Structure 1
Amino acid sequence: MNLTLEKNDRLAKWLIYSFSAVVFIAVTVLERITLDVDLGFNPHILAMVNAIINSIVSVLLIAGLITAKRGAYDAHRKIMMAAILLSVLFLLTYIAHHLFAGSTWYGDTDKNGIVSEAEKAAAGASRTIYFFILGTHILLAGVSLPFILFTAYRALTGENARHRKIAKITWPMWFYVAVTGPIVYLMISQYH
């Protein structure tokens, strides 16, 4: 796999920041839209698919880190490209899930879209834990996207020192997002 790019920092910055902004806007806007369409299956299955994808990305990130530390750079590149491609698939299924299933509210045991005081009390401290994990997950998901893209760009242009430097920031953020995604799913799925 000899995928390389010609170095063009100005174009790369414009593309990465534009793509990141479009993704942020699309996720934010589409989060508020629900399409009432019969898909022939429960659209919440897409949330489970997302959790599985994130779990696989977590494993790939660990494998990518190990292969980089061992100097197996060809394997590292393939693993990290697989993680990026799976993350794109995740983004598509995430948007589809929210478009077709709408939002689920933590603690909404009667599934009416309103979390009453009694439901909040029943959820207890787990509700606070859920919102902490969800909030940090969302924040780092948004922040990490341009970092992931810049890290990949530096690798694909052969700027290995710059790639390693930014990867030290990118990897922990991306890994946290990938690990907390399935945790969020496990916590919220009981309310689907």
Structure 2
Amino acid sequence: MISLRQRIVWASLLGSAALASSGAFAQAPAAPTAPSAAVAQADTAAAPKAQHKRMDPAQRMERMKEHRAKRLAALKEKLKLSSVQEGAWSAYTTATQPPTGPRPHMDRAEFAKLTTPQRLERMQARQAERSAMFAKRADATKTFYATLSPEQQKTFDTETAHMGGHRWHRGGPDGHHGQAPAKS
């Protein structure tokens, strides 16, 4: 993948070549500070991405836990739960807690050594695990949802509409991060 800085450098080179071949280069010299300013801006724009990729997995998990706790606290505050609903809230948050510990992982080399039927069985088993986790979360959500008043249900619907769409945060079907596909 070509970085933003490389794109800027290539665009500058191509632009310079086009100007030189058209003779316009001699008429209007380019300002020497423009490309360096663009490259400096590209460096600062790319810096946060580089930091995110290098983050320690344990730090990343901790940050995700903190983010989840903040989201749940904000949701609880907006729902204005009664004391009767507190038990259902606790059961909901416990049941929807992401699994702790490292995810089951198989080395690519080990996976490649398997026969096609063996790989399919492994994938099917992993899919069954994910389906079971989803069913558990769905049941907990439905149970909690049933304890809410119609007003609270409306708030819950509004506030949690984006929570199921994790794929948009990782680059959706068209590869754009955080954006839905363009409507035709």
TM-score, normalised with respect to structure 2: 0.27
Larger radius of gyration: 2
Query: Which structure has the higher relative contact order (CA within 8 Å, separation 6+)?
Result: 1
